[in-house]
């Protein structure tokens, strides 16, 4: 049994070049007839290829539970083609009114709106390991929705006591969806919720994200990227749902462009004995660190600590030097502020000689409408900057209040600028390229 080398023990913050498993392969004859029928020929895929349809038997509505019986068992290195449902066991589909959406939440307190497919049991995964989930391909349904529940949830429930729901066509030939006439949002599908079972027994809402990943709403987690999550229970128990076609950083009215996936194709591996406190995401150019808490200031503290760990391992520098690098070379954003636990994340360069830090304008540019705010309280800075964007879209582009709120939720890019205790700045950008000539 091959052990991870000392160098690979820090590989979660570098380019992972090896996987070690403590398990052996199974034969098809060892599986149940039902499990055998879900494995399909795939000679060009390493391991087995499993099909996991979204049915009432393979999904849960609004909760995770580490005692839930797995709906599928796979080996490390296997791939799974996962299907997902719309919210509330596929009830949130074109035609449902905003009043009916609100009733779904008030009639079902304590559970999230998300339908999650799973759990998938991964042989050999144990507490203290890391689950590696490579997103190979994502194919959404032909439609999506954006809504805010009247007077409930979102960043500004008191200011938007009137609700709205919009249903949208996802044009996958052009990879856009028209939000209102003349405004097209690029379609970049990603799982809003994907994660493993938490350590604590019992049934928990799918809404708050945490060290187990879950409802992270990080829009960079698209096909081609890889998620690394610490394992808390035997078999890991992998779920996914809350499928998104597009989302703004902040997701301020509660929803992205919510959809379901006809196919989310993933390859799952186990990294034995790897130490990881919070999930990380690997993209072609960066490692993404993150932090979540009910208070954005505390989420930022977690993010700073996680990012410092990354740079200390990558560049072999002191903790003090590593902490200072975040503001110089990282591109940091706000993922969401509506899921009980609010989130921030940084894209950190894989290349130790490069930097990914982004623009932080405070006024309109040729490419962007811009609003910005600075406050010692990051929650207040985010509230001020994002509410200002809602007002700007009404004033400059003539959008209704609710359409401005929705467009900001699905397309606004809120970036972290200054991150000192005395002053934290949020810069919210809206691409002008979204406005296209109408035929």
Q: Which residue has the higher pLDDT, 20 or 123?
A: 123
What would the mean pLDDT of 291-300 be, rounded to a whole number?
98
Is 73 inside a domain boundary?
yes
Mean pLDDT, rounded, for 395-420: 97
**What whole-number distance in Å separates Cα of residue 187 and Cα of residue 353?**
32
Residues 233, 249 within the same domain:
yes
| Whether residue 173 sits in one domain with residue 82 | yes
Q: What is the pLDDT of residue 146?
A: 98
Distance CA 194, CA 387 (A): 29
Task: Specify which residues 144 forms β-bridges with.
Answer: 168
Q: Which of 16-20, 46-50, 132-136, 200-204 has the lowest mean pLDDT?
A: 16-20
363: containing domain: 283-434
Q: What is the pLDDT of residue 22?
A: 36
Taken in order 173, 175, 181, 183, the sign of the CA dihedral is negative
pLDDT at residue 92 above 90?
A: yes
pLDDT greater than 80 at residue 91: yes
Q: What is the DSSP letter of 254?
A: S
| Two tokens, residue 336 | 């969401």
What does the pLDDT look like over 360-385, one tens digit per residue? 999 999 999 999 999 999 999 999 99
- Confidence class of residue 19 from pLDDT cuts 50, 70 and 90? very low
My answer on whether 248 and 363 are in the same domain is no
- The answer to whether residues 184 and 161 belong to one domain is yes
Asked if 50 contacts 314 with a C-beta cutoff of 8 angstroms, the reply is no
CA angle 324–328–332, rounded 5-degree value = 100
Sort strands 72-74 and 115-122 into parallel, antiparallel or unpaired.
Answer: parallel
Which pLDDT tens digit goes with each residue over 318-356?
Answer: 989 999 999 999 999 999 999 999 999 999 999 998 999
The yes-or-no verdict on residue 213 having pLDDT over 70 is yes
> Which CATH number is 74's domain given?
2.60.120.580
164-169 and 115-122: which strand pairing? unpaired
Last residue of a domain, one of 220, 254, 281: 281
Percent of residues, the chain, with pLDDT higher than 70: 93
Domain count, the chain: 2
pLDDT value of position 278: 98
Angle at which helices 296-315 and 319-329 cross, to 10° = 110
- When comparing pLDDT for 155 and 46, which is higher? 155
Q: Per-residue pLDDT tens for 234-289?
A: 999 999 999 999 999 999 999 999 999 999 999 999 999 889 999 999 999 999 99
């Amino acid at each position: 049994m091959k052990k991870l080398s000392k160098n690979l023990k820090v590989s979660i913050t570098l380019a992972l070049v090896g996987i070690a498993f403590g398990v052996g392969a199974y034969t098809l004859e060892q599986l149940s007839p039902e499990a055998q029928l879900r494995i399909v020929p795939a000679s060009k895929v390493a391991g087995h290829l499993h099909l996991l349809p979204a049915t009432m038997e393979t999904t849960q509505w609004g909760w995770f539970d580490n005692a839930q019986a797995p709906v599928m068992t796979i080996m490390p290195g296997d791939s799974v083609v996962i299907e997902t449902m719309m919210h509330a066991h596929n009830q949130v589909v074109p035609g449902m009114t905003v009043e009916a959406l609100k009733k779904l939440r008030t009639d079902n307190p304590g559970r999230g709106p998300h339908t999650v497919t799973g759990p998938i049991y991964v042989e050999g995964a144990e507490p203290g390991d890391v689950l590696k989930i490579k997103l190979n391909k994502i194919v959404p349904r032909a439609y999506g929705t954006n809504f805010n529940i009247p007077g409930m949830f979102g960043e500004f429930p008191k200011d938007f006591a009137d609700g709205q729901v919009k249903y949208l066509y996802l044009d996958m030939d052009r990879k856009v969806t028209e939000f209102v006439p003349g405004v097209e949002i690029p379609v970049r599908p990603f799982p809003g919720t994907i994660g493993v079972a938490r350590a604590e027994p019992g049934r928990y809402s799918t809404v708050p994200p945490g060290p187990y990943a879950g409802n992270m709403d990080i829009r960079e987690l698209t096909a081609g990227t890889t998620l690394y999550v610490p394992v808390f229970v035997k078999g890991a128990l992998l779920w996914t749902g809350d499928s998104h076609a597009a989302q703004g950083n902040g997701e301020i009215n509660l929803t992205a462009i919510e959809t379901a996936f006809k196919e989310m194709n993933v390859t799952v591996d186990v990294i034995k004995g790897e130490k990881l406190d919070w999930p990380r995401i690997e993209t072609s150019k960066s490692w993404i660190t993150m932090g979540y808490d009910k208070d954005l200031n505390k989420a930022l503290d977690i993010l700073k600590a996680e990012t410092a760990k990354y740079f200390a391992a990558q560049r072999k520098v002191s903790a003090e030097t590593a902490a200072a690098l975040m503001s110089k070379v990282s591109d940091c954003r706000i993922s969401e502020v509506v899921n009980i636990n609010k989130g921030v994340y940084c894209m950190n360069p894989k290349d130790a000689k490069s930097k990914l830090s982004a623009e932080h304008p405070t006024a309109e540019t040729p490419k962007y409408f811009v609003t910005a705010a600075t406050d010692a309280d990051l929650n207040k800075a985010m509230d001020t900057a994002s509410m200002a964007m809602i007002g700007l879209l009404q004033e400059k582009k003539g959008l209704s209040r609710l359409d401005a709120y929705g467009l900001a939720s699905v397309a606004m890019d809120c970036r972290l600028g200054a991150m000192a205790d005395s002053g934290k700045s949020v810069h919210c950008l809206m691409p002008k390229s979204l406005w296209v000539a109408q035929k």
